[in-house]
Structure 1
């Protein structure tokens, strides 16, 4: 199981697409759930948990991280962080992480526009510090938000060239004010989807050389097409993954700290409530690949059905573009050029969403 542990609802940034901190009444900035209680709850339900620290910005509360890690010695640890406060956590703890996701959107001009002036330099410094000085053997993943200023091919190739082990991205849709469904679809047809095809061609070219690029949405989709399909949303929310909020509530989704449907239970009483997908997803021909995409969007229709369908349309086209290359990758796997294990990607181990 994947467990997100929120260490605080506060954030030290105010990025354009999320606005920064959760409200204190929804995710207390000073946790009311003690680290030991959280660790005990996880340990009682999972003998080999995957634990990711989350926020807000989790490194605003490094002591909380340290205490949970100390109490869960057998867990696989990861963190999703904006990368500006990495030196707040001791180097010996960084060496215990299996995965670190650093939020960065691409080149400096793109990252700083959306995340704030100077953020790019701090994230790159964090990447180099973890790799070179700390000697962290963890997988370091670039965590992108893809918006109107993104040029997907350029930005993913750029981040891989910086030294990230992999790149994961999410589309800035549904709750954004940057664009609406019509503008998003126009941008997708003119920029995003052509770049998905270019990036697929690069991915396959490298695969022919025996090198599997860490393009996480491609790995996740090719896993479903060639190895094993998804039976639920790939991030696992509400079934294979839960979040523990700073007030002790257990959530189906880590970003849904105020939404009533998202409360699955409490660390004092256990997990009591379930969730479901929309009927249109249950009958979709791509359900085995997409899994339903994002649980949050099934309950929070900020763009309405028009917006849900717009993102769904782009998702289907993305899958179709990768399907076109699937026979090539399958042949490389049969010939031993690419190992099955390199394509059998498990997003729960990295806390990633493979359907952007």
Structure 2
């Protein structure tokens, strides 16, 4: 790890989860991701000493099922920024003093009550919204972390979350673990028209001098006006590592079984990946905005040739966002928005950018 490159450290506090969402499957097996951490935090601290500005985000399973580890880590590790990705059920287990130190909380919620509860279980929506209300008391950014399924109306569900008090929203398409479904027909008739409406809403808000919290839009614009993504925008393997509860250092927090993802161990150190993309990603005209989208999906490719349909959805999404570049530039020239307001680094928030 080069000393000049800040790294996102995703710490899996446990492999256990209290939910079993339709697109996820719930807990990891305890033999793969132990339900309690089994390594010495002082070893992790030593590894982090080479990182000039480490960001630590707690992950799982459901990370707040192990609040003791969260507190111990926050008391001993040298992070400059703290966060958590949580389903929102156990925010009361972490004392207020730790929430006051958090920079970001990502709450898993899929939009309206009926969509969230259908995907994640009855009563989940109300539980998350109660947690949102509590966390609003603290000085941290709160991001809605959406999974988008065939039940989703992307415009309605995203604007619902923004209007409900979330600072930002990011989303991921249900196109990795689930059985193949007719994602392209759905995208043509529902998703992509909804994305275009969201992009139009974003530029309308820009005209008022406001940057709306749509992370896919903001992330693509940032890659246009500032630094392109060298590989997956989440930084998997080259700017971001996941430390499993057994001490393995992984390129991606969901790649807990795959040998290609193991970068090392906190006992022996680790080496970051060199960013590289396969064809056709490497020569794609949208590479700087997409970075190959998802390292795990690229490596595992559960959908085979049908993954090309996801690529087309990604390209159409990016084209919709790039269409507002001239308006954004005009607003900058008029002083209505500051160019820097469109800079976004997903590493700081542990977001993916490209759905």
Shorter-chain TM-score bucket reads over 0.9
Root mean square deviation of aligned Cα: 1.2
Counterpart position of 1:143: 145
Decide whether the 8 Å contact of 1:38 with 1:244 is kept in 2. no
Match of 1:158 in 2: 160
Scaled by the length of structure 2, what TM-score is found? 0.95
**Matching of residues 70-81 of structure 1 within 5 Å:** 70-81=75-86
Mapped to 2, the partners of 1:40 and 1:128 lie a distance apart of 37
Figure out how many residues of one structure are paired with residues of the other and give that number: 348
Give the distance between the partners of 2:43 and 2:118, measured in 1 at CA.
39
> 1:45 is paired with a residue of what secondary structure?
coil
User: Can you give the 5+ residue segments of structure 1 that lack an aligned partner in the other structure?
Assistant: none
SS at match of 2:178: coil
Q: CA deviation at 1:292?
A: 1.1
Q: How far is 1:342 from its partner?
A: 1.6
CA drift at 1:278: 1.6
**Residue 67 of structure 1 aligns with which residue?**
72
CA contact (8 A) 2:237 2:272 kept: no
Counterpart of 1:185 in structure 2 is 184
Alignment of 1:168 with 2:174, yes or no, is no
1:249-268 aligned within 5 A = 249-268=248-267
User: Does the Cα contact within 8 Å between 2:115 and 2:152 map onto a contact in 1?
Assistant: yes
Against the structure 1 CA distance between its residues 348 and 271, is the aligned structure 2 distance closer, same or farther, given a 3 Å change threshold? Answer: same
| CA distance, structure 1, for counterparts of residue 278 and residue 307 of structure 2 | 11
Unpaired runs of 5+ residues, structure 2, are 1-6
The whole-number CA distance in structure 2 between the counterparts of 1:247 and 1:74 is 20
Any idea what SS the aligned residue of 2:105 has? strand
- Give the corresponding residue for 1:15: 21
Q: Quick one: which of 116, 119, 139 aligns to 1:114?
A: 119
Q: Does 1:237 align with 2:236?
A: yes
Q: Partners in 2 of 1:22 and 1:40 — Cα distance?
A: 28
Deviations 1:168-202 (A, max 9, x none): 1011102212x43xx00100011000001111111
**Following superposition of structure 1 onto structure 2, how do residues 86-97 of structure 1 map, counting pairs within 5 Å?**
86-97=91-102
Distance (whole Å) between structure 1 residues aligned to residue 79 and residue 187 of structure 2: 43
2:335 paired with 1:347: no
1:3 alignment counterpart: 9
Q: Is the 8 A contact 1:30 1:246 kept in 2?
A: yes
1:290 aligns with 2:294: no
1:75 CA drift (Å): 2.4
Residues 91 and 318 from structure 1, CA distance in 2 versus in 1: closer, same or farther, beyond 3 angstroms? Answer: same
Rounded Cα–Cα distance in structure 1 between residues aligned with 2:317 and 2:41 = 41
- The Cα shift of 1:338 comes to 1.2
Report the TM-score when normalising by structure 1: 0.95
Given that 1:36 and 1:67 are in contact with CA atoms closer than 8 Å, whether structure 2 keeps it comes out as no
Structure 1 residue 73, shift from structure 2 partner? 4.5
Moved over 4 A (4+): none
Given the superposition, is the C-alpha separation of residues 240 and 273 from structure 1 closer, same or farther in structure 2, using an over 3 Å criterion?
A: closer
**Contact map agreement 2:55 2:79 (CA 8 A) in 1:** no
Tell me: CA distance 1:331–1:17, structure 2 relative to 1, closer, same or farther (3 Å): same
Distance (Å, rounded) in 1 between the aligned partners of 2:321 and 2:330? 15
Contact preservation (8 Å) 1:33, 1:246: yes
Does the 8 A contact of 2:116 with 2:125 survive in 1? yes
The residue aligned with 2:278 is 278
Higher helix fraction: Structure 1 or Structure 2?
1
